[in-house]
Structure 1
Amino acid sequence: MSTLRIPIGDKDHIQGNPDTAKIVLVEYGDYQCPHCKHAFPLVKKFVEEYGDDIAFVFRNFPLTDSHEFAMSAATIAEASGNQGKFWEMHDLIYENQDQLSNEMLKECVKNLQLDFNKIENDINTGDIQDKIENDFEGGVRSGVNGTPSFFVNNQKWEDYDGTYDSFVELLS
């Protein structure tokens, strides 16, 4: 069984408190992956319904060989995080994945009323690319070979079957 090689840290995007949650769920995801889109509402519902029992961490694993806009989406999401809107952008991209394009990402920036000049500047500094590459490399080191890949309390979750019930079973 694979284990999470890169510990959760201050550069991660986290919903909930990993120090007190019963379940710490880490997803390595790709914004253009249809399987990630399918998992998105299931994870969202799970986190909302079980509140303090769950901490959710999202890490980028853009599959650029097969998904043309995966890197652009990850980059925009990370840059949005610099303006305190990572999760809003994360959700907006998945909710509109069937329209994913550079134009759609610009519309998302507008819809969230983000500073477009700051987004462009942040994208060009290299810090965001480093963050995405570190997420990806950490995933590879942890045994990620596709998306979505989940880790539950630092162990790769092999039993995810694409249903909400599989998430609920984690708590039993």
Structure 2
Amino acid sequence: MSLKPTVNKNDHAQGNLNSDLVIVEYGDYQCPYCGAAYPVLKALMKEFGGQVKFVFRNFPLSEMHQYAKVAAIAAEAANLQGKFWEMHDAIYKNQQNLNELYLFELAEKIGLDISQFKDDIQKAELEEKVDSDFESGVMSGVNGTPSFFINETKFNGGAEDLLELVRENVN
């Protein structure tokens, strides 16, 4: 399966934004497998951040994970204050504490303007962004999280396999 739509300006990206090596993760903030993949992906970016463009798309499995969607919306709200990755990291680091109130604590911890955050998480366009990420995942053949794509091709392996592959091919 290939990635639909391709990576674009609406995506959250970090690392080398002009890199030819693009990794996309479809993730769920409450998924334990995504939580386990998170430190591996951080290690990958620490080692290869100058050579890799890393993109995160929301894929909240709301039936299984009660707070996944609200966490995704919270990260999108943080993005409006230029702090998407800070919120992304804070949620994964504190995944076991996840609930709606705790998201406000994290927002404070990363230095968001809380009254703006409260207003922003109500915005319909943030939920639409999360839903649109989710739909793009469905169209791209994502059926669980985390799911990875390398240069728009689905990668059938976990974060550890991904790190190995990058190590073998980048150096």
TM-score bracket for the superposition, by shorter chain length: over 0.9
**Superposed displacement of residue 18, structure 1:** 4.1
Contact 1:46 1:167 in 2 (8 A): yes
Q: Which residue number in structure 2 is paired with residue 14 of structure 1?
A: 13
Per the alignment, residue 94 of structure 2 pairs with 96
Q: Cα gap change, 1:102/1:84 in structure 2, threshold over 3 Å: closer, same or farther?
A: same
Structure 2 residue 61 is matched with structure 1 residue 63: yes
Q: 1:134 aligns with which of 132, 135, 148?
A: 132
Q: How does 1:19-98 map to 2 (within 5 A)?
A: 19=18, 21-98=19-96
- Structure 1 unaligned residues grouped into runs of 5+: none
Residue 165 of structure 2 aligns with which residue?
169
State the TM-score, normalized to the length of structure 2: 0.93
Point out where structure 2 has 5 or more consecutive residues left out of the alignment: none
Q: Does 1:154 align with 2:152?
A: yes
State the secondary structure of the residue aligned to 2:24. strand
Aligned residues: 168
Identity %: 45
Q: Give the stretch that moved more between structures: 77-86 or 7-16.
A: 7-16
Superposition CA RMSD, Å:
1.3
Instruction: State the shift of 1:162 in Å.
Output: 4.6
Deviations 1:133-169 (A, max 9, x none): 11000000000000000000100001x2452x54132
**Letter in structure 2 aligned against 1:61:** F
Q: Secondary structure at the match of 2:49?
A: helix
Superposed CA offset, 1:29-79 (max 9, x none): 000000000100111110111122110000000000000100111011110
